Amino acid sequence: MVPGAVVVVTKLSRLLLVLGFLIATISGNAAVLPFERADVLYHSYTGGGININGPAILVRKSIGDSVSVSAKHYVDTISSASIDIEVILGASTYEEERVENAFTFDYLNEKTLMSFGYTNSEENDFLADTFSFGISQDMFGDLTTVSMGYAHGSNTVGKTGAPAFAETSQSDNFNLSLAQVLTKDLIMSAALDVTTDAGFLNNPYRKVRYIDTPTTFLLENEVYPKTRTSTAIAMRARYFLPYRAALHAEYRLFQDSWDIKGNNIELGYTHPFMDDWVAEAHFRTYAQTKASFYNDLFPYSNAQNFLARDKELSTFNNNTIGFGISYEFAKGEGGFIDKASVNFKFDHIQFNYKDFRDATQTSFTPGTEPLYKFSANVMQLFLSVWF
């Protein structure tokens, strides 16, 4: 087992969680209780030398007309090694596991929906606890929905092979959104998201490299600032076509106190056919600038106060093309199940880094190696049952 493998891909596995299970469980903006349902998901990510896969289960149940509760269990099994691990440790394989459990409580009072949540995530060297609260209000004849939320996370960072190593960090997230039905065919929404992070924010295993001789480099630990504030603004639209299909578009702008600026555009199309089938396709492009303290190769040891060589803090872009298909069955047949659906989604992502080089290519002089790029495939297969 390679020390610290999970920390290297923690962000990646959490992104997979968002891409996969959020799609399976999202209930919309209106102030109504979520439907009673159960979801079973299998997810898989392959790319950049990393394989992530595992199951997830969510069950949601209403208690009367005003209360809904849910529980979720999610597992990431991670194997292989990212380019960071290969450069730092010369390793090629490892296996780790992350387990996440989450509980939510929703309360509906007329047109107001309040939600409370708790999430616990555990790895061998990373523990995270998050508490969240949200409130959503329908108004103006249910044509307008205003939502706001707050989440607080507390993390403990360890280091395999160093039992005395223990660092902490915390995050506070504030979000505000407005959804508006403009016509019978068009819905638009805007969202603001602000996150502040404090504490130990870097990876205890990742290192930066600096020039030793004209033909060699050495490694030293990353050093990050102790605080970070990020802001994201998003605009979304969904237009329903006369033949039951729909178009959707999103633009999102991101910036943070580390001088990273990013934006993404997504376009998608959803098309039902043969009564029980729904197909969808989408394209997304994202680009960002690097953090002010990032460098692929520093000129000498401790060249500046803060040091980073995390490729996710570099200048890069990625393009995603994906499709999905779902089939509904057991509709209106009575009994315990109201309806069910089986869903398959697949994304292909191409990452292109502009100032992060493939340091595993040792035949090149440091700083002249090929720029790093890779492709990844994300797959989600899930079953949803409404009861």
pLDDT tens profile 63-112? 988 999 999 999 999 887 778 778 876 655 677 899 999 999 999 998 99
Three-state secondary structure string covering 268-294? EEEEEECCCEEEEEEEEEEEECCCCCE
Beta bridge partners of 223: 307
pLDDT digits (tens, 9 = 90+) for 186-238: 999 999 999 999 999 998 989 999 999 999 999 999 999 999 999 999 999 99
**Pairing label, strands 67-80, 227-240:** unpaired
Nearest to 137 by CA among 123, 148, 152, 126: 148
CA distance 54 to 366: 38
Query: 């992060």: which residue's tokens?
Result: 356
Cβ-Cβ contacts under 8 Å for 324 (sequence gap 6 or more): 279, 280, 281, 343, 344, 345, 346
* Range with lowest mean pLDDT among 233-242, 253-262, 329-338: 329-338
Residue 144: phi and psi, rounded to 5, are -125, 135
CA distance 376 to 332: 40
What phi-psi label fits residue 48: left (phi over 0), alpha (psi between -120 and 50 degrees) or beta?
left
pLDDT digits (tens, 9 = 90+) for 342-358: 999 999 999 999 999 99
Whether the predicted pLDDT of 128 surpasses 60: yes
Running DSSP on this structure, what letter comes out for residue 202? S
C-alpha torsion sign, points 308, 313, 315, 316: positive
Residue 192: phi and psi, rounded to 5, are -120, 130
Q: What is the mean pLDDT of the chain?
A: 89
Cβ-Cβ contacts under 8 Å for 378 (sequence gap 6 or more): 16, 19, 20, 43, 44, 45, 322, 346, 347, 349
pLDDT band at 31 (very low <50, low <70, confident <90, very high): low
Q: Which domains does the chain have, with CATH numbers?
A: 63-71+101-386 (2.40.160.40)
Beta carbons within 10 angstroms of residue 370's beta carbon: 9
The encoded tokens of residue 265 equal 């555009």
Half-sphere exposure of 365 (CA within 13 A, CB side): 4
Q: Are 157 and 125 in contact (CB under 8 A)?
A: yes
Output the pLDDT for position 80: 72
pTM of the predicted model as reported, rounded to 2 decimal places: 0.87
